[in-house]
Amino acid sequence: MERLQETPDGAHPPSQLDWIIIGGGVHGVHIAIRLLGGRHTTADRLRIVDPGPQLLLRWRARVAVTGMSFLRSPSMHHLDEDSYSLERFARVWPSSGEDSFTRPNNRPSTELFDAHCDALIEAHGLEGTHVRDSAVQVNPGEDGVLVELARTGSLRASRVVLALGLGENLDWPDWAPRNDPRVAHIFDPALRPLEASTPRVAIVGGGISAAQVALDAAGRGHEVELICRHAIRSHQYDSDPGWFGPKYMRGFERVRSAATRRELISTARNRGSLPADVEAALRAAVADGSVRLRIEEVQSLESRADGTALTLAGGQRVDADRVLLATGFSGTRPGGELVDRLVERSALPVAPCGFPLVDSELRWHPRIHVSGALAELEIGPIARNIAGARRAGDRIVAACR
Ligand SMILES: Cc1cc2nc3c(=O)[nH]c(=O)nc-3n(C[C@H](O)[C@H](O)[C@H](O)COP(=O)(O)OP(=O)(O)OC[C@H]3O[C@@H](n4cnc5c(N)ncnc54)[C@H](O)[C@@H]3O)c2cc1C
């Protein structure tokens, strides 16, 4: 028997909601704001399902782990509707005295960005829409979609958005043991902070997060080895800014083959790259000896009683008390069993790479839209980013008209 969720004030929502957004990250929150701001629904007819105690928890945790102080993306990329909202907010925001923006491209500080997110969540009453649970099954039917939750029953809505993020799809190298607590992925929610008792830290990875974690650890007095399998790659964004607009997207949209689109996305991504300011900070830390940079592939890791020993392809050995994998996310379809079951039960179309084939309004099923990585065969290489959330918001709102 289907049980209805109670709203935080104890009142039952109407038996069928307008929208359920599964995932309360950057994408889910932006889409909620677009639906509410565009008056396509009201807060009492919308729910955001996410297991975190607060919305945007994953985003904040990942930002905290990297110690990043400015976003990589420009000030126009934020979670509100109007492109200039963040800049306007900055004019009245009582900042802590640190710079609110940095060059190039007027990039906001993480502190400003988060304060803006908090203000939007409050202004739209989004905490009241937040159901603190995980969706385990999505069952679309003729009259609506039933979303079964792990702990608190189920919810029904006319339409659902899957905004699941990349979740636990971490890229975990084959040589890294999974059962040694000294070896961890930086985006594992269970990551333990570095302790003073573990002075030697090896960080494996060559992208912005690896560099930021290395700089942060060095700043806390750890002896840091950064092991990167390629020379430093310098790019301001993780794909060419031509992908933000028609310059490259017009050609992408003309391509009908999903396999070709996948190739275009893979080629367009500047994986493992650093923007100029992070590169400069890293080079300075290497120059002053606070970070030791090794351009080498890791071959193996030996777990020993007194630490871990990494062997590199060139034969060198690196001893470390902690090994942090900053190797990003794997390329497989996110969403785990929830999405696997949905594909199987509802026979939803997928590309050879396993990702959803959706229409231009990001409909995977007449009642189910997707955002983030799940939408990348339609939105292109920027799909996972904040700009991709904004693009997904445009498309989903267009579907309401
Ligand atoms: C360190 C870092 C810095 C970044 N900086 C930038 C930047 O400067 N600019 C930029 O444009 N992009 C940036 N990105 C990329 C991107 O914008 C972020 O990764 C963003 O958080 C993605 O948002 P999301 O909503 O897709 O995923 P997430 O933030 O991971 O949110 C997804 C949510 O869905 C929930 N969820 C998953 N499955 C279920 C389920 N079954 N039921 C209920 N809830 C579920 C998860 O718990 C999670 O809370 C950065 C990424 C990282 C890691």
Q: What is the pLDDT of residues 85-96, one digit of tens each?
A: 999 999 999 876
Q: What does the pLDDT read at residue 2? A: 41
- Cβ of 73 closer than 6 Å to ligand 1, yes or no, is yes
Q: What does the pLDDT read at residue 9? A: 44
Q: Side-chain half-sphere of 95: how many Cα atoms within 13 Å?
A: 16
- Cβ of 63 closer than 6 Å to ligand 1, yes or no, is yes
- Cβ of 160 closer than 6 Å to ligand 1, yes or no, is no
Cα separation of 37 and 105, whole Å? 27
6 has a pLDDT exceeding 90: no
Instruction: For ligand 1, atom 41, name the residue with the nearest CA.
Output: 135
Q: What does the pLDDT read at residue 360? A: 96
Q: What does the pLDDT read at residue 11? A: 44
Domain ranges of the chain: 17-168+331-400, 183-235+270-325
Please tell me the distance between residue 310's alpha carbon and the centre of ligand 1 in angstroms: 31
Q: What does the pLDDT read at residue 12? A: 43
Question: Exposure pattern of 348-358 as b/e (b: 16+ CB <10 Å)?
Answer: bebeebebbeb
Cα separation of 380 and 336, whole Å? 22
Q: What does the pLDDT read at residue 10? A: 44
The topology under which CATH files domain 17-168+331-400 is FAD/NAD(P)-binding domain (3.50.50)
Segment 238-267 shows an average pLDDT of: 96
Q: What does the pLDDT read at residue 7? A: 47
The topology under which CATH files domain 183-235+270-325 is FAD/NAD(P)-binding domain (3.50.50)
Q: Burial, 192: exposed, middle or buried (Cβ in 10 Å; 0-12, 13-18, 19+)?
A: exposed
Cα separation of 172 and 105, whole Å? 33
- Cβ of 386 closer than 6 Å to ligand 1, yes or no, is yes
Q: What digits encode the pLDDT tens for the residues 96-113?
A: 677 899 999 999 999 999
Q: What percent of the chain has pLDDT over 90?
A: 93
How does residue 348 score in pLDDT terms, banded at 50, 70 and 90? very high
Segment 369-390 shows an average pLDDT of: 98
How does residue 183 score in pLDDT terms, banded at 50, 70 and 90? very high
Cα separation of 56 and 50, whole Å? 9
Q: What does the pLDDT read at residue 67? A: 93
Q: What does the pLDDT read at residue 4? A: 44
Q: Which atom of ligand 1 is nearest to the CA of 166?
A: 30
Please tell me the distance between residue 11's alpha carbon and the centre of ligand 1 in angstroms: 30
377 has a pLDDT exceeding 80: yes
